[in-house]
Chains A and B, each alone.
Chain A
Amino acid sequence: MDAWEQKVKDRLKALPKLSSSALESNVLSKISQENNRKKNRRRVQQGLSIAACIACAGIGIGTLSLHSAAIPKPLNAIQPSKQPFAQAFGQVDWWMSPLQTVEGPTVTQLGKNTDFPVSDRNPVVQITVDAKVKNTATNETLSNVNTQGLLLFFQDGVQVASYFVDAPNQPLAPGQSAEWKFQPMSSSWPAHLDHVQAKLTFIRRINWTPTQSVLPSKLQPTVEIPSLGWKIGRSPLQVTMLDFTGYGQNNMYMQIRADVYNPTNEALRDQNLMGFIFLPKDSTSSALDDYTFKYMVDVSFLHGEIAPKTHQTVTFKFVGNASLDLIHRTPSILIVSKATLPKGDN
C-alpha cells in the first residue's frame, strides 16, 4: 500500500462511527410486532393441530366410515378457532372429561441446571407442575384409561408449549380427588421461558367403532392399564406408508394406510401402542417445527395384535382443518410403545 493510500485509510478509519439510540429499540419493536403476529398465527395453528389431535384421539381410529353426517359438531367448532384454544375448548363440552382441575396447576421452575447443560442454549430446566384434580362425575369412575389430559403453558397470554399428559394413575371414584404431578422432559422445555402459567384440561378417550354412527353413549377404553401410567418408548414395528388420501372440504378428513411389520418374535398388542403422525410444511421442516401439524392416533390391529414376523395394513384416520389442505404434505408416522410404569413410580 502506498503512503497516500495509507493516509486515505487512516483518514477514513478515523471518521466517527454513526450510532442511533433509536435503532435497536425500533428494530426490536418491529421484531416484537412480527413475532406477535407470527405467534397469533401459530396459536391458531397450534390450536387447530392439537384440537385435531384430540379429536382424533377422541374419535379413535377403528375402521370408522367418515361421512359428513357422522362428523360431530365439535370438529366444526374447532376449525375457525382464532380465539385462545382454551376458549375453543370450552365450546365443545361433549368430549370434556368430568375430571376437573380444582387446584392449580402451579408451575415450579427450579432453575437451569448448569451442572448438566445440553448446550448453552438448551440447558436442563427442571419444571414441575402440581395440581389437584377431582372427578366431578356422579356415576363414573375416571382414570387414565378413559381420560386424557392436555397441559398448556402460557407466557404473557401466548401459548408456548403443550403436552399430552395422563390422568392420575389411580382410578377416581365420583367425587374423589387426587394430587397430580407432571414434569416435562427437560430437554423439550423451552429454556428461555420464565414465569409461565399452565392450564390443565382433561378430555375423554373414546374409541369410536363402526357400529356407532352417532356420538357414543358408552365410553370404551382404548388402553387397559388402569393402575399404571405409561411411558413412551421406541417400538420395534416397521412402518411403511402405502397411501395418503383425503376427502371432504379441503381434504379435511384424512386417511393414511400403512404397512406395519412386526420383526420381533412375539405378538404385539395394539393397546400398548400409539401412533404419531407428523405433517411437516416441507422437506426441510422437522417433526416439531411450529408449522408441522401433529396428530396423536391410536393403532388398531386386526384382533388387537400383530403376530410375529407378519405384516398388517393399518389405517389411520384423522381430521384436519377445513381451511387448509394438508394432503400435499409428506407425512411421517411414528409408532411408539406405551411401556408401563411400575406402581408408585409416578
Chain B
Amino acid sequence: MERGNQDPMLEVQPVYGVVSQVESTADTELLRELVNSYSSDILSLAFSYVRDFQQAEDIAQEVFLRAYRNLNRFHGKSSYKTWLYSIAANCSKDFLRARKVRQVFWLRKTQEPPEYGRSAESEAIQTIEGDSVWKIVMQLSVKYREVIILHYKEDFSTSQIADVLGISEQTVRTRLFRARDMLKKLLEKEELDWMPGNKK
C-alpha cells in the first residue's frame, strides 16, 4: 500500500525515449484490497446507523467510492481502517440527515419492515435485530450510539474514535460516559439477569 511520486529528473537518464506518460492502476488495486479487507466492517457500521441493509449497502458503496476519489489525500496519519470508518460515519450521518428530509414527505407512508430473502444476509440481520443488547443500544441517539459501537463492538480507543468522528478525545470521553450511563439504565430496565441491579 505504498504510494510515491516519480521524480522526472530520474527519467532523464542515458536511455532511449523521452517522455513517458505512465498511467497506474495502483489505486484500483489498493481499493480492491481495502474493499476486501473492510467491506464487512463498513457495511456493519453503516447498518448500525441506518438499520436498513440496502441503505447500508449504498452507504458502504459510497464510502469506498469516496475513498478511491480521495486516495491522494490519504497521508497515512491514521490507518486505512480509521480513515474508512471516518468516511463511513460521515456518509451515514449525511444519509440520516437526508432521510429526515425525505420523511417529511413520506410520513404517512406505512413503515413496514424491509423484507429480506432467506439469505445469509437476512439471517445475519435477523440475528442482529433480535439481540436484546443491540436493540437497547439502538435506542440511544446517534451521537451516543456511535461511540458505544466504536468502543465496544469495534474495540476503538478514545483517540481512534476521536479521529473517526472528528471530535476531541475529551468529547469522546464525555459522550462515552453518558452513553454508558444511559445504556446501563436501559439494560437494567430490561431486567437482564446479568446486570448488577437486576441480580436477585
Q: By the criterion CB–CB under 8 Å, are B22 and A11 in contact?
A: no
Interface range on chain B: under 10, 10 to 19, 20 to 34, or 35 or more?
Answer: 35 or more
Q: Which residues in A have their C-beta under 8 angstroms from that of B152? A: 5, 8-9, 12-13
Q: Which residues in B have their C-beta under 8 angstroms from that of A110? A: none
A47 to chain B, nearest CB (A): 11
Q: By the criterion CB–CB under 8 Å, are B127 and A15 in contact?
A: yes
A142 to chain B, nearest CB (A): 18
Q: How far is the CA of A13 from the CA of B187 in the complex (A)?
A: 17
Contact string against B for A residues 1-42, beta-carbon threshold 8 Å, 1 for contact and 0 otherwise: 011110111011101111110111011101110110001001
Identity of the chain A residue whose Cβ is nearest the Cβ of B31 in the assembled complex: A31
Q: Which residues in A have their C-beta under 8 angstroms from that of B6? A: 188, 286, 288
Within 8 A of A (CB), among B108-147: 120-121, 123-125, 127-128, 131, 133-134, 137
Where chain B touches its partner, the secondary structure class is helix
B12 to chain A, nearest CB (A): 5
Q: Which residues in A have their C-beta under 8 angstroms from that of B120? A: 19
Q: How far is the CA of A286 from the CA of B4 in the complex (A)?
A: 11
B39 within 8 A of A: yes
Q: By the criterion CB–CB under 8 Å, are B35 and A27 in contact?
A: yes
Q: By the criterion CB–CB under 8 Å, are A4 and B187 in contact?
A: yes
Contact string against A for B residues 38-72, beta-carbon threshold 8 Å, 1 for contact and 0 otherwise: 01110110010000010011001100110011000
A-B contacts, 13 listed (Cβ < 8 Å): A5-B152, A12-B148, A17-B44, A19-B124, A24-B35, A26-B61, A27-B65, A185-B16, A188-B6, A190-B22, A231-B15, A288-B6, A294-B19
Q: Given known contacts A31-B28, A184-B17, A232-B18, what 13 new A-B pairs fall within 8 Å (CB)?
A: A9-B152, A11-B131, A13-B152, A13-B155, A20-B121, A27-B31, A31-B68, A161-B21, A161-B23, A165-B17, A233-B12, A276-B19, A296-B19
> Which A residues contact B (CB, under 8 angstroms)?
2-5, 7-9, 11-13, 15-20, 22-24, 26-28, 30-32, 34-35, 39, 42, 46, 53, 119-121, 159-166, 182-185, 187-190, 192, 229, 231-234, 274, 276, 278, 286-288, 290, 294, 296, 334, 336, 339
